[in-house]
Structures are given as structure tokens and as C-alpha cells.
Amino acid sequence: MITQTKIRRLAVAMWIGVVGSYTGRALADGPSVTWKAGDKVPEAKMLSIEGIPVSLRPPEGKLLLVLVEDFKLENATERTKAAITLYRRFHGKGLNAVCLSPGASESTVWRSAFRWQIPWPIVTAKADGEKPASQFAGLSVPASYVVDEQGKVVAVGLEGEKAHETIAKLLKLSLDALPMPEEPKARKEEDSRITFDAVIAQQALTDASTYAAAIGAAKERAAAEPCKDNLRQISIALTDYREEHNGELPKHLSDLYPTHLQDEKLLLCPRNPDMPEGFGDYADPKMKCSYLYEFAPEPRPRKEGQLKVYGDRVPVVRCLHHDRPMSLSYGGEIYFSDLGWENNEPEGQTLECKEARVRHQLRIIGSALAKYRRDKGDMPNELADLRPDYLKDESQLTCPVTNKAFNYRFSPEAGGGRQGRELKLQEAKDPNYGMYVPVIRVKGVWENGDVINLGYGGEIYRSPDRWEELFQ
């Protein structure tokens, strides 16, 4: 049995310190600068290397761990591992994190981030070509700061057991109730190499669209496709269950079996059928399941709270058996992200916002199309063919935002006649993007012209007007 004393000894043993041994070196030439407790950090908004907006102001009631790091420095690996341990222990209770590394090359940052699966955004001087972190060039490195919601520095230079005690005190938590996570483990060198290659390819896509990162590069998508197909079918089953239970999600994924999900193997990731260690609160008590069900009884209250902050982008099911975690969202999207998915999402979303209402309708149509294809062996000529056997209400064929009938792209009337329809069916068999060939596209939701797509495989995704850009 691991006692609290052993846990604390482990913390000290593995923690060379979030700050480690100071080198006194600044991120750029000139005198080094350190923030002091009580200082206000700049209200800067920057972009991470993934193109994610980053602020140094945490949400209300949360803390932000600001790390200043150069990954080529001595002991950078030990500091990174220690910070990940701290983050894993307290993130679910209110601790977010960000790393400022303006002096590092992006290739160095990418390799470190994916080798150690760093779950927070990292800002470099070249993140968006405008040196968003240049104002922090004088900060001493390595360093660490804890910032509250007002932007005030409330702790500096945490290390060892004291770091855990300080964060627990600031969040008003008891350390005895928070077990120490396992020590972070590096990916195998060959896996890191594959992942890094995928990220470089993915970055080229991200230059064309900020949504390519969520869909993943071609190799990443191909490797995860068998698992993704499971998630597509789980998504349809969850949609049907919610329609029959006044919008409520099941208590466990096993509740979907056998009425809505007929094959037990769909609850097992083809890459690894075992539940990841350390996630007992998400385990299914009735059936073997390798997916994390985020709305299991224990985490459900917290997840329901997240729906009010992040809307329907909140994950319902997650798979951690890939280079990057893959999530099935409340709104029917399947996307890759880091472990701390919240770092990538804007707050202030609701289940009643325009895009959430559109996705809700598309999920229902996606489920109806899947059943039609299963029974008829083909796609319907018109969406109206889904009535009344597969769709209850005719209003479900109307976009709740534009109040216009959904444009069904597989209709012979949609363009190209019967030959155009056959061409789309051929596209749906393309191994690169077949499941993503849009069945329905909804414009007019976002001012920048982006589109919500219902793909042939039943999942929903956001894209530019030319959806093919995500797959080129």
C-alpha cells in the first residue's frame, strides 16, 4: 500500500523542481528578469505552436502555472516530468498550465512536447510569425510562476513537496485526497519519430486551416481509423439513446448494449482493448471497455458543469491508446487533442449556441442515414426519403439557424444528376478522406465563412468552404 509519506517522498525524489537550478539566463540577450509574488503579468494574448489562442489569465476560480523553459537546457527533461506530475495531480481540480519558450526552435519544442506528451500549450517567438512572446524575452529561464484569475503572481519558483502543498493550499484542497500520479514515461524513440513526422505534416495542413489539427494528418487518421469507426457507431448509439431518454446520456456505455449497440467489441479500441491505468472512475462495471466514458457517475457532475462553459465540444468518450488522445464530443465531433483538451477550447459556449443547435440536428440525421444505409444498402435519393421510418419529425430536415432545408449533397438534384451522385459515392470510398465526404454542409453559422459538415461516416466536423483543403 502506498502511504501519503511514500507519495511525498516520491514527489521529492522525482522533482528536481519546476524551476530546477537557475541558470540566470534570459530568453534573449540582456539582463534577466523575474516576476515577484504580487506582480501583475501582462494581459497578452498569444498563439501556441499549434495555433491555439493563449492567455495568461486563467478562468475564474482556477490557477495558471506559467513555465518559462528552454528545452535544450540542462535538466529540462526532469523539470518537464515534474511539471507534468504536478499538472496531472491538480488539473482536474483547477490548475491549468502554459509554457513560454521564445528562444527555442519549434522543432525542438515539437520533439519535447510529443516525447513527453506535454498537455499544455507552448508559445514560441515564431508561433504566428509576429513574435507574440517577444515581450517576455527578458524573463529568466528556467522559471515557474503561479498566476490567479486577476493575473497576479501568487507563487514563484515552486519545487519539491512544497510545490504540491502550495497548489493544494491555493485551491483549498487536501493532499491526502489527491493520489500522486504515475511518473511520466517517454514515448519510445521510434514512436516519437513517427509522431514528430506526423506533426510536421499536420503543421503544413494547419497553415491552410486551423481545423486540420483536430482531424489529424493522413498517417494519424489512417492509424486511428479502426478505433474511429468504433466511435462513429458509439456516437450513433448515444444519439439514439438520448432521443429516447429526453436528452439524457446513459449511466455507462454498457447501457447501450444490446438495444443501441449490438456488438460488444465496439467498446474495445482495436489498438489496445484494455482500460488505461489510473482511470478507475471511468471504468464500466458491467462490460469490458477500453474507452473512457467521461459521463460515468463519478465524473458526471464536473462534466455537466463543463457543458455550460465549453458547450457541445465537451468529450463524452475518449480513447488514450493513440499518439494523441481522441475524443467523441457531446456534439458528435471526433477529434484529436492533447490530454488537457480544455486548453484548446474557447470558453463561454453553451448547448444553445448556433453551432451546437446545428450539430444536434445533424447528429439525428446522421443516425437516420446510418440506419437507412444498413437496411437499404444505399444512400437515399432525398433526405425526405428518411420520413417517416427513420425520422419522426419533418422539421428535423430544416436547419435551426438558417431556417432553410438542409442541402443534401447526395441528391441527384444537388448537381450533376445521377452521374454526380455516383461520383460522390465513389469519393466516399477514397481511403484518404472517404468517411469525411460531406453529405450535408451548413453555411452561415460563422462570419468567417467556415462550414459545419456531416460526413459520410456520420461524424461532424468544421472546415473552410473548400473542405478538401483539410486532406490535401
Q: What is the pLDDT of residues 247-268, one digit of tens each?
A: 999 999 999 999 999 999 999 9
Last residue of a domain, one of 143, 158, 186: 186
Domain membership flag for residue 386: yes
pLDDT of 142-161, one tens digit each?
899 999 999 999 999 888 88
**Looking at the structure, do residues 97 and 27 belong to the same domain, yes or no?**
yes
Same domain for 320 and 373, yes or no, is no
Do residues 40 and 178 share a domain?
A: yes
Q: Among positive and negative, which fits the CA dihedral 344, 360, 415, 446?
A: negative
- Whether residues 168 and 260 fall in one domain: no
316 with 437, same domain? no
Same domain (yes/no): 291, 426: no
Per the structure, the count of domains in the chain is 3
Do the domain assignments include residue 349?
Answer: no
Residue 441: name the closest of 456, 427, 431 by CA.
Answer: 456
Which percentage of the chain shows pLDDT scores above 70?
Answer: 80
User: 391 and 451: one domain?
Assistant: yes
Q: Are 419 and 402 part of one and the same domain?
A: yes
- Residue where the block lists cell 491508446: 321
* Nearest CA among 379, 387, 470 for reference residue 429: 379
pLDDT digits (tens, 9 = 90+) for 367-379: 999 999 999 999 9
344, 362, 396 — which closes off a domain? 344
The sign of the CA dihedral 256, 257, 260, 263 is: positive
Q: What's the confidence (pLDDT) of residue 105?
A: 67
Q: What is the pLDDT of residue 446?
A: 83
Q: Which of 186, 209, 231 is the last residue of a domain?
A: 186
Q: Would you say the pTM of this structure is higher than 0.85?
A: no
Query: Could you tell me if 250 and 290 lie in one domain?
Result: yes
Q: Which of 18-32, 208-222, 294-308, 419-433 has the highest mean predicted lDDT (pLDDT)?
A: 294-308
Same domain, 152 and 238: no
> 266 and 216, same structural domain?
yes
Q: Which residue range(s) make up the domain with 107? A: 4-186
More reliable by pLDDT, 185 or 432:
185
Q: What pLDDT is recorded for position 200?
A: 43
Q: What is the CATH classification number for the domain harbouring 11?
A: 3.40.30.10
DSSP 8-state assignment for residue 81: H
Clarify whether residues 121 and 46 are in a common domain.
yes
Q: Is residue 453 part of a domain?
A: yes
For CA atoms 414, 420, 422, 425, give the dihedral sign.
Answer: negative
Return the SS3 of 95. Answer: strand
